[in-house]
Amino acid sequence: MNPEESDVAVIGGGLVGAAIAYGLVRLGKRVVMLDEGDIAFRAARGNFGLVWVQGKGLGMPAYGAWTQLSARQWPALAESLRAESGVDVSLEQPGGLHLCLSERELEQRVATMTRMLGQPGFEGYPFETLDHAGVARYFPQIGPSVVGATHTLLDGHVNALRLFRALHAAFVALGGNYRANHGVDRIARESVGFAIDAGGRRHVSVQVVLAAGLGNAKLGDQVGLTVPVRPMRGQIIALERARRFMHYPMGALRQTDEGTVLIGDSQEEAGFDTTVGTPILATMADRAQRIFPLLRDVRITRTWAALRVMSPDGFPIYEQSQAAPGAFVASCHSGVTLAAAHAFDLVPQILAGSLEPRLSAFSTERFHVSKAV
């Protein structure tokens, strides 16, 4: 069988891989997206659907800027996806609130936001600190336990399942080659690019982008990239559909355009175990019903746990391999928020053959990790 040829091979069909692959086919490139099978780890399943800005970037101003860039470009992403896939991802960017259920929480939150905005070179934005009455203006049904919140106008959310479908549909509609059950066994550097063995066949491409989440660690080794990611278990509770009453997203609670109420957002080190644990669910449920007491009688239809991708400092990793130029890695925790930046901003840099200095903060050099040669 002749090897399949493409300009760029994107390894991984989750939110990161699909956004990058989509951005590439939009620019007319021949792209193959190599994805695993039905029961893969799929961090994308753990996403909460937020297009979230506030609070991001304490410890890395470049991340704050990157996030804001993506949020600004999100409307363009939503529009082009709608045009190319027919799917409306229901982007809403009305601003969002990070709720606090104690004075201590609120103090810590304001301190964090202030410290973050005060970093040298941080691209600032205004935020409000709200007391209970202030929160009640956004959510009349807010529970008495809510002490306050921080609010910015930059936050939003999107129908994440439809985003996923739209990215895949648009990718295929624009001529992209999607290969499921094609977990990558081997990547080798060739004279004019890379030879990738996946799904029992060989693919050759000029460039390759590792967007395989937790799989990037093993794949990275093959192309001279050391990618120190580990799984972080996040559990999510979904409630039955209700008539829309939450018109603004919160960091850990939101209602989709279809009415489903989603409760997140836990984080635990749990290895590769995706079983759902009742104490964490109980804490999440307790918090949610203190935020909205009227949710007490609303039923949970499902819970799930996904393994999200965590780097040592929690910030994204973007890097081109020095040992194997043309091989890139893209890894992040917030695949939905950064989808626009990935599709519209990272992609041209990949095609230009080098990542711009403004992304240098995201390279793995920051971990002082020695690279395989």
Partner 1 sequence: MFQRLSEAGPPTLPLTIDGNAALARPGDSVAATLIGAGHADCRTTPVSGSARGPYCLMGICFDCLVEIDGRPNQQGCMIEVQAGMQIVRQEGSRPVDVEATR
Partner 2 sequence: MSAVDALKPSFELAVIGAGPAGMAAAVAAAQRGVATILFDEQASPGGQIYRGVTTTPLRRRELLGDDYWHGQGLVDALLGCAADYAPRSIVWAVTRIGDGFELAVSRDGVAHLVRVAHLIVATGAQERPFPIPGWTLPGVMTVGAAQILLKTAGLVPGDGTVVAGSGPLLPLVLAQFAAAGVSVDAVLDTTPRDRRWRAAWRDVIGFATSPYLAKGVALLRRARAAGRVVRGVESLEAIGDHRIERVRYRAGGQTIELACTSLLLHQGVVPNINFANAIGCEQRWDEVQACFVPVVDAWGASSVPGVTLAGDGAGIAGARAAEAHGRIAALNAACAIGRIDPAQRAAAGAAAQADRARWLRGRRFLDVMYRPAPQYRIPVGDTVVCRCEEVTARQVLESVRLGCTGPNQMKSFLRCGMGPCQGRFCGLTVSELIAKERGSTPAEIGHYRLRFPIKPITLGELASLPQTEASEQAVVRLPK
Q: Which residues pair with 51 in a beta bridge?
A: 156
| Cβ neighbours around 164 below 10 Å, total | 23
Contact between 284 and partner 2 per CB under 8 A: yes
Identify the residue among 304, 312, 313, 360 touching partner 2 (CB under 8 A): 304
Instruction: Output 184-193 pairs: Cβ under 8 A, ≥24 positions apart.
Output: 184/11, 184/34, 184/212, 184/215, 184/219, 186/222, 187/11, 187/219, 187/222, 187/223, 187/327, 188/222, 189/223, 189/324, 189/327, 193/326
CA angle 346, 348, 349 (to 5 degrees): 65
Phi/psi-derived region of residue 215, left when phi > 0, alpha when psi is between -120 and 50, beta in every other case: alpha
15 vs 239, beta carbon nearer partner 1: 239
Identify the residue among 6, 9, 20, 35 touching partner 2 (CB under 8 A): 35
d(CA 25, CA 178): 12
Contact between 287 and partner 2 per CB under 8 A: yes
Q: How far is the CB of 59 from partner 2 (least distance, A)?
A: 12
Contact between 73 and partner 2 per CB under 8 A: no
304 touches, from partner 2, partner 1, none (C-beta below 5 to 8 Å by class):
partner 2
Report whether 213 contacts 16 (CB < 8 A).
Answer: yes
299 vs 368, beta carbon nearer partner 1: 299
Q: Which residues pair with 32 in a beta bridge?
A: 9, 177
Q: How far is the CB of 275 from partner 2 (least distance, A)?
A: 8
For the chain, the C-alpha Rg in angstroms (whole number) is 21
169 touches, from partner 1, partner 2, none (C-beta below 5 to 8 Å by class):
partner 2
Residues in contact with partner 1 by CB under 8 A are 140-141, 240-243, 245, 258-259, 292-299
Beta pairing class for 261-263 and 193-198: unpaired
91 vs 262, beta carbon nearer partner 2: 262
Q: How far is the CB of 288 from partner 2 (least distance, A)?
A: 6
Residue linked to tokens 């409000």: 128
Residue numbers 309-368 binding partner 2 by CB under 8 A: none
Identify the residue among 145, 226, 303, 349 touching partner 2 (CB under 8 A): 303
Residue numbers 138-167 binding partner 2 by CB under 8 A: 161, 164-165
44 touches, from partner 2, partner 1, none (C-beta below 5 to 8 Å by class):
partner 2
| Both structure tokens of 24 | 């590439």
| Both structure tokens of 154 | 């930059």
Residue numbers 221-250 binding partner 2 by CB under 8 A: 237-240
Residues that bind partner 2 (CB under 8 A): 13, 35, 37-39, 42, 44-45, 104-105, 108, 112, 161, 164-165, 168-169, 172, 178-181, 237-240, 252, 263, 265-268, 275-289, 295-304
